[in-house]
Each structure stands twice: as C-alpha cells, then as structure tokens.
Amino acid sequence: MVNRMPHNEDGTGGNHIYMPWTKDNKKLDFPRGYHIEVGGGFDAPSYGFMGGIQRYPNAGGYGKSLKDDYRRYFGASVGFAGRGEMIPSDDCYCELDPKVVDKYGIPVLRFHWKWSDHEINQAKHMQETFRSIVAEMGGEVFSPMPTRERDYGLAAGGTIIHELGATRMGNDPTKSVLNKNCQAHDVKNLFVADGGPFVSQADKNPTWTILALAWRTSDYITQQRKAGAL
Amino acid sequence: MSDDKNNGMSRRDALKLLGAVPLTGALHWTPEAISRATHVLQQDDAEAPKVRPKFFTAHEDATVRILVDLIIPRDERSGSATDARVPEFMDYMLGEATEMNRVEMRGGLAWLDTECRTRFNANFVNCTDAQRRQLLDDISWPEKARPEMSHGVAFFNSFRDFTASGFFSSQMGWKDVRYIGNVFNPNWNGCPTEVLHQLGVSYDS
C-alpha cells in the first residue's frame, strides 16, 4: 500500500461496507454484537487531507521529508469504525421535567443517559478486533489503544446519531408507551411510526426497520378503521 | 513580465512544464528547470492584483507565508505552499468559514513570535532560517517535544494539517500526489499489470 503506483481508481472505500457480527457472544462480557465499517483509499484530496500526519509511522516534522510522507502514505491507510448494539438500560430514560415548560406551557422532556459496562466492554472488543485484523493483513497499527479511562475510544453518547427509542413498544403498559402495533397504550388513536418504537439501539442503520414497522402499523390502522375500531 | 528575466521561459511554458511533470515522472525536466518554472509562476502571481487578507494582519500574513513554505517547500515534483496559495486559502477559511479555531490560529502565531523573541530577540519573520528551523524542530515532533513546548506542538499540529488541507486540495496538490480519479477511462481492464506486480498479486492465482 505504501508507495503504491498510482492508476485510475480510488482504491478501497465505501464506508458502509459491513462486516457483520458472526461471533457467539455467550462467553463475552457484553450482550449482542456490532458491525465493522471500513474506510480508506485514494479519495480526492480535499479539506482534512491526511490530518494528523504526526501519527503515521515515522512521519511528521516539516519540509521535504514531510512532503514525501504525504506522498508515501496517500491511499496506504485503512480505517475501521465499530457500531454496536446497545440494549435498554435503567440509567437511560426520559421523563417530564418538573420545572421547565415550552412556549405552550407544556412540560418539556428531560433525558438521563450513560454508558454501561456492556458498551465499554464492547468497545474494547472492537479495538482488539480491529488491531488484530490490521496485524493479520500485514499492516502497522499507528493509533495507540485507548485506555479504560477513555472508554476504549467509545464516542460520547449522541455523537453517532441514530436516535431511537423513548416511546418503545411492549405488552406491559407500565414498561412501554406503545403496544406491538405502535399504538399508544393510553390513547387509542395515537400511533408512532418513526424510530421511537425501537426496544433497543440496534447496531444497524435503522431506516429500513422504521419503514417496515411503519408499513405494518399502516396495515393495522387500515384494518382497525375498516372494522370500525378507530 | 519580460521573458528575458527568466531565461526565455514564458508563463505559458512554465505552466506547461509543471502541468506535465506528474505525468512524465519528471524524466525530461531537470530540477533547475522546474525551480525556474515555479519561480516564473510566482513572479506572475506577484504581479497579479493581490488579495488583501481579511483575517490575518499584515504581520501575521508575513509569518504565515514563511511558515507554510517551511512546512511544504518547493521540490522537484511540485511548488510550495505559497505557490498553491495556501495563505490565501487559510485566510479565506478563517475569515469566511471557521474550521481551525480563530483564537487558536491567532494565539499560535503570537506564541511563535513570543518564543522567537525569548530565544533570538526577534519576531519569527526577522529570524534567520536556521533559527526558525531550530524552533520548528522543537515543536514538529510531538513525541520528542519537551513538555514546556506543548502549546507550540498543539498549534503546529493544527497548522500543519491546515497547510496540508490547503496544499493538497489545490490543483497543484492533486497532481503532486498523482490523484487520477474522476477521469473517464474507456478501456478499463482491471488493475494494471505493473500495479498487480508491485503488490505481488495476480488475477490468475
């Protein structure tokens, strides 16, 4: 990869190449799994080109040698990103704020949220896996393993934004907002057809599941309407 | 500009020569010819109406021009950061849109001057090349840098990234790293044989 002969192609790329989860996680210290997204290649040099060059092996400084570093390493790096499933946690919930209202006088939502050991252990597993893949490929890892104090590189909550849940579905009205047809337990003619009904934060991008659930909800509404129940 | 000053090389010749370099691998051109060509272009730029910096003060602009060329100098393959108008790019980015923090930039340049005055009794622009390099040697290698250089190191990391962004996103930079993508290729036969050979792989095995 280093010093590769240039030709008319952009190299590896496509950040949404998925490496799906295939492991049995019964013996691991976290539930569910994660997928891996891979990036790299000769993308058109643009803003942010090879940022952090000082992290590349024996690269940095300034002048002619630095210019050669950029040339040598252009297109020679492969990056990995992990996206893991987060199962529901009692520490993550929203409630009506006891003091703050919006401009209509309606109490606003207040959110409580934090990572559990599950996600932190999962991030550690990701880091170890990515590093072993690079080693197997004959590559050189050039970012240090993040420490436990830095949650093994786990991004701050809300950074990777696929907002899901908060009006989750379930059979028990004391533990869920919606029933299995995404209909509110408390208000019969209220349906939620977005990411709200999700019961966990899956590792996959949610759009297709949102569409599928909305479709099913639409069928249910049609059927109930025809039966005169709505 | 008269061609006599540049050994008969016109702007058109210079552009042609520099434009051809990445494709021919500089086989037909000596480093002297390339240096002369970039010099021609720079002179021509100097005569073009200058864009007055909006963000940088005149002193900061002078500092930046020296610093970016220390980071990305002219060499046998391409011109320098100022040849690619990196200072103008930075000024635009800082004045019109914000990427690198404005305070980080202004404060970093001021740090550079302060450090130079402490060491050499002169601002960065008035230091000798050797003095400037002595300072850069101390802040451009984060792992070797002394702890008291941490502010300079942080500034230089960002500034170096910013310089590379400006240089390599320019036409000169694309040619320098031999970026070919987005060019119509009517005869795609897979990865070229010589590239497969270099990588030690083949379509047969």
pLDDT, tens digit, 9 for 90 and up, residues A28-55? 999 999 999 888 888 889 988 999 999 9
A138 to chain B, minimum CA–CA distance in Å? 13
Contact at CB, B161 and A51, closer than 8 angstroms: yes
The residue of chain A nearest to residue B73, with distances taken between CA atoms, is: A63
Q: Which of A4, A62, A70 sits opposite B168 (nearest CB)?
A: A70
Among A117, A128, A131, A29, CA closest to A78: A131
Q: Would an 8 Å CB–CB cutoff place B179 in contact with chain A?
A: yes
The band of B16, judged by pLDDT with boundaries at 50, 70 and 90, is: low
Asked if B197 contacts A26 with a C-beta cutoff of 8 angstroms, the reply is no
Helix or strand (DSSP H, E) at A217: helix A207-226
Q: What is the pLDDT of residue B95?
A: 82
pLDDT tens profile A125-176: 999 999 999 999 899 998 889 999 999 999 988 888 888 998 999 999 999 9
Q: What is the pTM of this model?
A: 0.73
Which H or E element spans position B88? helix B86-96
Q: State residue A56's pLDDT score.
A: 92
Q: For residue A84, give both structure tokens.
A: 């893991």
What gap in Å lies between CA A89 and CA B145, rounded to an integer?
A: 44
> Is residue B73 over pLDDT 50?
yes
Q: Identify the band that residue B22 occupies on the pLDDT scale cut at 50, 70 and 90.
A: very low
The distance of B2 to chain A (nearest Cα, Å) reads 31
Query: Any CB–CB contact under 8 A between A208 and chain B?
Result: no
Cβ-Cβ pairs closer than 8 A, A with B, add up to 97
Of A8, A53, A64, the CB nearest to B185: A8
A98 touching chain B per CB within 8 A? no
Cα distance between residue A119 and residue A96, in whole Å: 27
